[in-house]
Amino acid sequence: MKTLAWILIQLLPALGFFLALALLVHQNKPRRSPSSTIAWLLAIVLVPWLGVPAYIFFGGRKSQKMIRGKRSFGIGAIDATKHLPLQMTGSNFPIRSDNGITLLQTGEEAFIALNDLLEQAETSIDIATYILSNDNTGAIVLATLARKASEGVRVRLLLDALGSFSINKDALSSLRSNGGQCAFFMPMIHLPFRGRANLRNHRKIAIVDSRNAILGGMNIAQEYMGPAIDDDRWQDLSFFLMGSAIADLQSVFNSDWSFAAKQEVIDVKVVDFSNSHAITTIQVVPSGPDVGGDQLYENILSMLFSAKQRVWIVTPYFVPDEMLIKAICIAAKRGVDVRILVPLASNHRIADLVRRSFLRQMQESGATVYKFTPGMMHGKAILIDDGLAVVGSMNMDLRSFFLNYEIALYIYDKNVVQKLDSWARGLMKRSTTGVRTVGFAIEMIEGVARLLAPLL
């Protein structure tokens, strides 16, 4: 026994050291931001018995094997510089000018639009969502999906395995027994599991008959949407979309479905909407481990550096990296009207702690900080000057830019941007402005939180 104890005492520290050393080398291989690299280095070196397992389980970002194993979508990188007013790095999809888009500014509007869309389905319903809850909203949607499946409509429901982990499997039985299909994206426990648990499908897309869609930031849950007014419902934003860009959304969904359900899928052809009088110019921009490079992140950086009149950011969570915060601050110092709107208190208090120093840095550079006071604000939008808006499922945080599977729309239409302008101003009227200065002790706490922000 003494010999075994001696071996364990000598062997385990050495094993932990060499394992940590191997992971230190490995975690520097992906093209991480310096802040992310430092955060993982601290975790692995200071607490290796916690940091090493955490890195193995959560530390992955982009896996070339995973990208190759997931069916591609789009038509390859597009040279956006030939078409766009701003210098950007491109997307997997082209710019399409024959689209119609309607803002859904409340959970009641979004629920009615979703329900109407599902009821109109004749051939297919494809829904991807991060959260499907065991509540009244989820039950109504599932009942509609089961009924449409029984009528011969092909129904595919794609749920994120983490976001929808609490869904009662019995709630899905009716859908399945009526011919509908349901798949869970990226199970938490999966072999090989390195890093996969941290790569969540955050896309929210509902496509009917490959002709109309609803997308944005709302999950299918009571706090996001529902048939009746709810005083506790979050302030959020979604969009009803029609036009040729639907084919691009369908391609993204098909890729995700094929990966999760292990089924081969044939993409639909782009429908000709030239006679529909739809004239909104839109570009679909996916991001995540299945996209080569970081197009969404790089494009937003380009927008920040190119903006001339304004940069308005609406986001529930604000955890940028050093390059993003620098670009925002430089825009403010250049005289650009920089505003950021966040909830006074979000549902993630650690993220609220981390954002404080970033918001203060923005304010010191000349930006205006708005804090939405009536409750949780979950809307996501970036307005650049008067002719460009970025909306979709992504938050302004490192998880959305570098880890999650996300979907964004670039909208090149002054009329739609003006509607988003009015929406944002309405939120600002219900907000307080400014962030207060803090003492040395609080600054130290915020500094540590900021250092570990990439691990959130």
451: domain CATH number? 3.30.870.10
| Buried/exposed code over 175-192 (b: 16+ C-beta within 10 A; e: otherwise) | beebebbbbbbbeeeeee
Under 8 Å between Cβ of 283 and 410: yes
User: What does the pLDDT look like over 211-228, one tens digit per residue?
Assistant: 999 999 999 999 999 999
pLDDT of residue 402: 86
Whether residue 107 is found in the same domain as residue 17: no
pLDDT band at 334 (very low <50, low <70, confident <90, very high): very high
Whether residue 169 is found in the same domain as residue 279: yes
pLDDT of residue 391: 98
Whether residue 179 is found in the same domain as residue 249: yes
pLDDT of residue 291: 87
pLDDT band at 78 (very low <50, low <70, confident <90, very high): very low
pLDDT of residue 294: 86
What span, in angstroms and rounded, lies between the C-alpha atoms of 439 and 441? Answer: 6
pLDDT of residue 87: 47
Whether residue 306 is found in the same domain as residue 327: yes
Is 400 domain-assigned?
yes
pLDDT of residue 33: 55
pLDDT band at 79 (very low <50, low <70, confident <90, very high): very low
What span, in angstroms and rounded, lies between the C-alpha atoms of 26 and 136? Answer: 46
Is 69 domain-assigned?
no
Q: How crowded is residue 343: how many other Cβ atoms within 10 Å of its Cβ? A: 26
- The residue ranking higher by pLDDT, 436 or 297, is 297
- The residue ranking higher by pLDDT, 363 or 199, is 363
Is 131 domain-assigned?
yes
**Worst-scoring range by mean pLDDT, 56-65, 140-149, 310-319, 325-334?**
56-65
Whether residue 313 is found in the same domain as residue 211: no
pLDDT of residue 273: 61
pLDDT band at 281 (very low <50, low <70, confident <90, very high): very high
Total domain count, the chain: 3
Whether residue 87 is found in the same domain as residue 222: yes
Whether residue 91 is found in the same domain as residue 53: no
Q: What residue numbers bound the domain in which 272 lies? A: 80-283
Is 134 domain-assigned?
yes
Beta strands in 393-443, from DSSP E residues, in sequence order: 396-397, 406-412, 431-433
Is 355 domain-assigned?
yes
**Worst-scoring range by mean pLDDT, 48-57, 105-114, 234-243, 294-303?**
48-57
pLDDT of residue 132: 97
User: What does the pLDDT look like over 170-185, one tens digit per residue?
Assistant: 889 999 999 999 999 9
Under 8 Å between Cβ of 382 and 440: no
Asked whether residue 51 carries a pLDDT value surpassing 80, the answer given is no
User: What does the pLDDT look like over 368-424, one tens digit per residue?
Assistant: 999 999 999 999 999 999 999 999 999 999 889 988 999 999 999 999 999 999 999
Find the mean pLDDT for residues 35-41. 52
- Of 283, 308, 340, the domain-final residue: 283
- Predicted TM-score (pTM) of the model is 0.84
pLDDT of residue 313: 98
What span, in angstroms and rounded, lies between the C-alpha atoms of 190 and 196? Answer: 8
Q: In this prediction, what percent of the chain has a pLDDT beyond 70?
A: 72
- The residue ranking higher by pLDDT, 61 or 160, is 160
Is 70 domain-assigned?
no
Is 367 domain-assigned?
yes
- Of 283, 313, 338, the domain-final residue: 283
Name the residue with tokens 């080398």.
25
- Of 283, 314, 339, the domain-final residue: 283
Whether residue 324 is found in the same domain as residue 278: no
Whether residue 84 is found in the same domain as residue 136: yes
Whether residue 278 is found in the same domain as residue 327: no
Is 66 domain-assigned?
no
Looking at this protein, which amino acid is placed at residue 274?
Answer: S
Asked whether residue 36 carries a pLDDT value surpassing 70, the answer given is no
Q: In this prediction, what percent of the chain has a pLDDT beyond 90?
A: 62
DSSP-derived secondary structure for 107-151: HHHHHHHHHHHHHT-SSEEEEEES-B-SSHHHHHHHHHHHHHHHT
Whether residue 187 is found in the same domain as residue 271: yes
pLDDT of residue 265: 82
Instruction: Tell me which DSSP letter residue 392 carries.
Output: E
pLDDT band at 7 (very low <50, low <70, confident <90, very high): very low
Whether residue 104 is found in the same domain as residue 196: yes
